[in-house]
């Protein structure tokens, strides 16, 4: 047996074990320092709640809504006619409840239904915001594609272009010399962009239906939200 090689192997193993131990100690120290700063900032116990929420984010959402979070729970709720849900969903909850188009009867939310409605609306708003950002990227790419091949209609300064087809994405671009170029983005070529518009409407509809559904359940969960 080569004693020298055995000693080298033992030394190398010891160094790796030492490095691993130091790494674990460093991590514990960082975690401890983080928690100390967190508890200094939130001495009332909110820090602990924040840590627990971070560790079980998905479970926390289920605890708030339980079975109520199922997307089809409020599919039966009808949205007001003639409203653009993608625009209406941008309002905060108080503004939404004051909107006569959305809540003509002036119904109010209770404490629990109000918390659930706020969560449903916030979730819809965040998803709509992401989808709209993706649409802007797709629009910019589409305009570059159409411009490069000269696929647009250019109108003189002050000219009135025809009314846009509501089922067609139409984008205008002001040129440096005052004319306006109109790009028509047909679904046959830009299917992904049109699909995202549909998704935005669906997500907004789901959020607003949830708020309306919870309005119908209000009055059974304690004090009203002011």
Domain boundaries, the chain: 1-53
Q: pLDDT tens digits for the chain (226 residues)?
A: 555 554 555 455 454 545 545 554 554 554 555 445 544 544 444 434 443 444 434 444 444 444 444 456 787 888 888 888 988 999 999 999 999 989 988 999 999 999 999 999 999 999 999 999 999 999 999 999 999 999 999 988 877 777 777 778 888 888 888 898 999 999 999 999 999 999 999 999 999 999 999 998 875 454 444 4
Q: How many CB atoms lie under 10 A from the CB of residue 154?
A: 13
Q: Let me know: does 203 contact 127? Beta carbons within 8 Å.
A: yes
Nearest alpha-carbon partner for 107 in 98, 115, 118, 119: 98
């Amino acid at each position: 047996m080569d004693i020298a090689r055995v000693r080298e192997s033992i030394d190398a193993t010891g160094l790796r074990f030492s490095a691993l131990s130091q790494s674990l100690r460093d991590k514990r120290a960082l975690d401890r320092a983080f928690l100390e700063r967190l508890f200094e900032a939130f001495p009332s116990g909110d820090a602990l709640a924040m840590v627990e929420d971070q560790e079980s984010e998905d479970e926390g959402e289920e605890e708030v809504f339980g079975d109520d979070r199922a997307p089809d729970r409020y599919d039966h709720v009808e949205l007001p006619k003639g409203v653009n849900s993608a625009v209406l969903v941008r309002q905060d909850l108080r503004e939404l409840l004051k909107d006569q188009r959305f809540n003509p009867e002036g119904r109010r939310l209770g404490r629990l239904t109000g918390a659930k409605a706020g969560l449903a609306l916030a979730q819809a708003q965040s998803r709509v915001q992401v989808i709209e950002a993706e649409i802007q990227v797709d629009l910019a790419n589409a305009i570059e594609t159409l411009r490069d091949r000269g696929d647009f209609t250019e109108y003189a300064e002050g000219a009135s272009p025809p009314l846009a087809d509501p089922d067609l994405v139409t984008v205008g671009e002001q040129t440096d010399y005052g004319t306006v170029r109109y790009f028509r983005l047909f679904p046959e070529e830009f299917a992904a962009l049109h699909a995202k518009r549909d998704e935005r409407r669906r997500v907004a509809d789901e959020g607003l239906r949830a708020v309306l559904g919870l309005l119908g359940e209000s009055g059974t969960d304690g004090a009203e939200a002011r």
